[in-house]
Amino acid sequence: MQGQNISDIIEEYLKRILADTRQVEIKRSEIAQLFNCVPSQINYVINTRFTIQNGYIVRSKRGGGGYIRIAKVNLINDADVLDDLIDVIGDNISFSQAFQIIQSLFEDSVLTQKEANLILVAIDRRTLDFEDKRVENAIRARILISILNRLKYDG
């Protein structure tokens, strides 16, 4: 584990659990205690590593009996998840966020490696080389949403 930071270690731990089951329910304070870190570190990991773009849905309940439920979803088999993903993309998306989505689709075997690579080339920074990054991110979002809609109806 040399070279790994605490966030990477927590992410690995949760992903190992999710490898055996499609869903895990955790208590933030218990995980923080297990890794001897502050509970906000758990929030950071969940908010940045377990996103819809990465193929996860997170639900939480606050309070004394509160929990955080993380579920690995198959993006293509659930039209509602694809709609949520389209909502997250909105009017613009960075290349790194779009890359996460394409990687999740590839990992879920929705896209072949060749298809994923072709999409990545189409939405790459060098391909969409506009002086105004807002235009670049808007066009990338349109392309990605069109692809997701096609997958949703042709999948």
Calculate mean pLDDT across residues 19-35: 89
Let me know: does 137 contact 93? Beta carbons within 8 Å.
yes
Q: Is residue 1 part of a domain?
A: no
Q: Tell me: do 109 and 58 sit in the same domain.
A: no
* CA distance linking residue 34 with residue 50, whole number of Å: 19
Beta carbons within 8 Å of 46's beta carbon, 6+ residues apart? 58, 68, 70
* CA distance linking residue 77 with residue 31, whole number of Å: 31
Q: Tell me: do 64 and 79 sit in the same domain.
A: no
Among 56, 57, 55, 60, smallest CA distance to 43 is for 60
**What confidence tens digit (pLDDT) does each residue in 66-122 have?**
789 998 886 666 677 788 888 989 999 999 999 999 998 888 888 899 999 999 999
Q: Tell me: do 148 and 100 sit in the same domain.
A: yes
**In this model, does residue 25 exceed pLDDT 50?**
yes
Residue 29 maps to which CATH number? 3.30.56.130
Q: Is residue 137 part of a domain?
A: yes
The residue among 41, 72, 103 that closes a domain is 72
pLDDT of 76? 64
pLDDT of 1? 47
Q: Tell me: do 101 and 48 sit in the same domain.
A: no
Q: Mean pLDDT across the chain, nearest whole number?
A: 87
